[in-house]
Amino acid sequence: MDSKSKSRADTLPGGAPPPPRRARWSFSYRNPSAAGVCTQESPLVPSKNGDLWNDLTALHATTEFRDRAVGQLSAAVQIPTETFDEMGPVGEDARWETRGPFVEHLKGGVPTCMKSRGLMDEWRRNEKLELQKVNTYGLIYTWQGSDASLKPLLLMGHYDVVPVAPLSVDQWTFPPYSGHFDGESVWGRGSSDDKSGVIGILTTIEVLLEKGFAPTRTIVLSFGFDEEGGGYQGLTDENIDMQGAGYLGPALLERFGPDSFAMIVDEGVGFTETFGGIFAAPGVAEKGSVNVNVEVQTPASLPPHTSIGILAALIVHLESNAPVPTLELGTPVFAMAQCIAAHAPEIPHKLKRAILRAPKSKRALKAAEEMLLTDKMFKALVGTTQAVDLISGGVKSNALPEQALALVNHRIATQSSVNATITRDAELTLEPAPITPNDAAPYALLAGTIRATFHAARKDVKDTEIFVAPGIMTGNTDTRFNWELSEHIFRYGHNDMTDLDGGLGGIHTVNEHMVANAFVEMITFFTTLILNADEAAL
């Protein structure tokens, strides 16, 4: 094993080194067995649509198809669709109008500078899909299946992006909205988060249409335009004015009703290497979120006791008394740890033993917690986090500040709640998402689809395996508005992150990019998912 591979393999999910070999924990019981822990679904390949699947996976392996897919993603990246904080309503705030060219691009109205055909050309010719626009730029596409008794499949994504900081533009290898393809990756804001998801889904649908596929199960697509702003335009005294996904969710609920979808798949992390094993962790839950304003008001006084100084002391006190994370049985994070213990070939023996023994031993659970929490990313997944993200105060250099404000953001663990996290008024509260069951048919279908896709993309590579484990999202996706639509909600983007050294491909920062081969494999994943769902009992 080369040193780079060894570095990746000997880490926890967040990239930190494993705990020292001489841990103070020792156990006298026999080594527990991993048998029956995190059992894996067999790779699931379509049967009724098997010939079509074979044709499409062969097509995806060609250079011609890669160039076609790359061209679509590149064209999408070239259209800036930035979301800023505190944007006014659609129709009043001109910054929303950047979405217009993107929607036109999907319909085929591509600017001449973009050497790409419109994704909707085939859709318009076939007139197979119904488009519903929600609040101008929210998009719902419906491909009606032949069997109306089957619950539809809902695929989601968002096409807005975080802004590019003007001072960082010269740090990009290629201009942030160039969509440049260097032969290996597409570069630019949104190439990974989440235009690759949106364009990957649309390309999948377009090719299925070209091949004459007619679904049995209805397929619904929902694309938001303000996910990077949380789906909320802002706050009022009486309600929350939601522009994008906040309108899409209610529109889907009104049209289809509660518990109307067989399963929902939205954006999420991909698969990576942990302790020598490759793991995909589709998010079966999301943390909650609460923002709390801390405000200090003081009359004009002599330094150093200004409102800013008092606020600073409060912030130090908050950060010195952060919520203490605990590893708890029955949580998605513990289920993920069990999968790593059962299947990662290079996990330290003491950590493996503690995790496997934890369901029957509080001492072992505490030992596993202590070792796992040495990794910063795993620590963030386990517990409720807090971060002071905004601060303001003062109006002039020679005037003492009478008011100072700080905003503290909490990401709430699935085993906690808003009330348990904070008892004072908050600007915005979001309870942790309901946990998707991982012992039901939709999870099995997704897991089998992930494994089949992984193997299909590596037909010439022997003895390469991927394991699927329940995961959790530390951030929030647009699925927050769709809890009533299905109990089977997954946050997963089939993106190969094994060669990113623990990074995320520049998401939300400089040099965001998407590897072309990984993007094609993402299209294979959506193809396999649609074909599998079409013939499954869900």
DSSP per-residue string spanning 27-46: --SPPPP-TTSS--PPP---
Residue 165 lies in a domain: yes
Of 387, 393, 425, nearest in space to 407 by CA: 387
Can you say whether residue 506 is alpha, beta or left, with left for phi > 0 and alpha for psi between -120 and 50 degrees?
A: left
Paired sense of beta strands 153-158 and 219-224, if any: parallel
> What distances in angstroms separate CA 206 from CA 57, 127, 190, 516, one per listed residue?
15, 12, 21, 18
CB contact set of 526 (below 8 Å; sequence gap of 6+): 155, 200, 201, 204, 494
Q: What is the pLDDT of residue 320?
A: 87
Tell whether 91 and 223 lie within a shared domain. yes
pLDDT the model gives residue 303:
66
Enclosing H/E stretch for 221: strand 219-224
Distances from the Cα of 462 to the Cαs of 3, 335, 379, 465, 524, in angstroms?
22, 28, 34, 9, 19
- Smallest CA-to-CA distance from 416 within 377, 370, 472, 500 is with 472
pLDDT of residue 354: 97
Instruction: Look at residue 3 in the predicted model and tell me its pLDDT.
Output: 37
Nearest to 151 by CA among 445, 476, 478, 525: 445
> How much is the pLDDT for 114?
34
Kindly report the backbone phi and psi dihedral angles of residue 34, in degrees, each rounded to the nearest multiple of 5, phi listed first: -90, 0
Q: Is 457 in contact with 271 (CB distance < 8 Å)? A: no
Which pLDDT tens digit goes with each residue over 415-452? 777 666 654 334 445 678 899 999 999 999 999 999 99
244 and 102 within one domain: yes
- Catalytic annotation present for 85: no
Element (H, E) at 385: strand 385-393
Cα first-last separation, the chain: 42
Contact 430, 480 (CB under 8 A): yes
Annotated binding site for Zn(2+): 158, 193, 228, 266, 508
CATH code: domain of residue 256: 3.40.630.10
Ranges in the chain, pLDDT < 70: 1-31, 108-127, 230-242, 300-304, 396, 398, 418-430, 500-504
Nearest to 66 by CA among 537, 522, 428: 522
Residue 54 inside a domain? The answer is no
- Looking at the structure, tell me whether residues 80 and 179 fall in a common domain: yes
Does any domain span residue 242?
Answer: yes
318 occurs within a structural domain = no
CB 470 within 8 A of CB 268: no
User: Tell me, what's the pLDDT at 321?
Assistant: 83
Active-site annotation holder among 122, 194, 227, 478? 227
Sort strands 428-430 and 288-297 into parallel, antiparallel or unpaired: antiparallel
Residue 140 lies in a domain: yes
The distance of Cα 406 from the centroid of its chain, to the nearest Å, equals: 28
337 and 219 co-located in one domain: no
pLDDT on residue 237: 35
Written as one letter, the residue type at 148 is: A
The pLDDT score that the predictor gives to residue 475 is 79
**For residues 182 and 292, is the Cβ–Cβ distance under 8 A?**
no
Bridge partner residues of 140 (DSSP): 132, 222
As given in the structure block, the two tokens for residue 95 are 């910054």
The answer to whether residues 118 and 182 belong to one domain is yes
Q: Which domain holds residue 392?
A: 288-305+384-432
Residue 496 is among the residues annotated as catalytic for this protein: no
* 194 prior amide bond cis, ω within 30: yes
**Quick check: is 52 in a domain?**
no
Determine contact, residues 228/98, Cβ cutoff 8 Å: no
Domain count, the chain: 3
Task: Please indicate, yes or no, whether residues 104 and 201 belong to a single structural domain of this protein.
Answer: yes
123 and 158 fall within a common domain? yes
* 95 and 84 Cβ atoms separated by less than 8 Å: yes
C-alpha dihedral (79, 84, 86, 90), degrees to nearest 10? 0
Alpha carbons 532 and 537: distance in angstroms, whole number: 10
d(C-alpha 246, C-alpha 479), whole Å? 10
What gap in Å lies between CA 303 and CA 109, rounded to an integer?
A: 61
Catalytic residue among 160, 286, 431, 521: 160
Task: Indicate whether 451 belongs to any domain.
Answer: yes
Q: Cα 170–171–172 angle (5° rounding)? A: 90
Question: Which value, in Å, is the radius of gyration of the alpha carbons in the chain?
Answer: 24
Does 392 share its domain with 511?
no
Q: Identify the pLDDT of residue 429.
A: 56
Within this chain, do residues 159 and 12 fall inside the same structural domain, yes or no?
no
Unique residue bearing structure tokens 């649609």? 530
Cα 495 versus chain centre, distance: 11
pLDDT at 126: 56
| Helix pair angle (50-60, 63-77), 10° resolution | 70
For residues 516 and 185, what is the distance between their CA atoms, to the nearest angstrom?
5
Under 8 Å between Cβ of 72 and 197: no
Q: Looking at the structure, tell me whether residues 360 and 213 fall in a common domain.
A: no
Main-chain phi, psi angles of 352, to 5 degrees: -60, -45
Pairing mode, if any, of strands 234-235 and 240-241?
antiparallel
Do both 4 and 102 map to the same domain?
no
Ramachandran category for residue 188: left, alpha or beta (phi over 0 → left; psi -120 to 50 → alpha): left
Q: Give the pLDDT confidence score for residue 242 in this predicted structure.
A: 62
Domain identity same for 88 and 117:
yes
Q: Which residues contact 222 (CB under 8 A, 6 or more apart)?
A: 138, 139, 140, 154, 155, 156, 157, 245, 248, 252, 478
Domain assignment of residue 196, yes or no? yes
Task: Give the model's pLDDT for residue 288.
Answer: 82
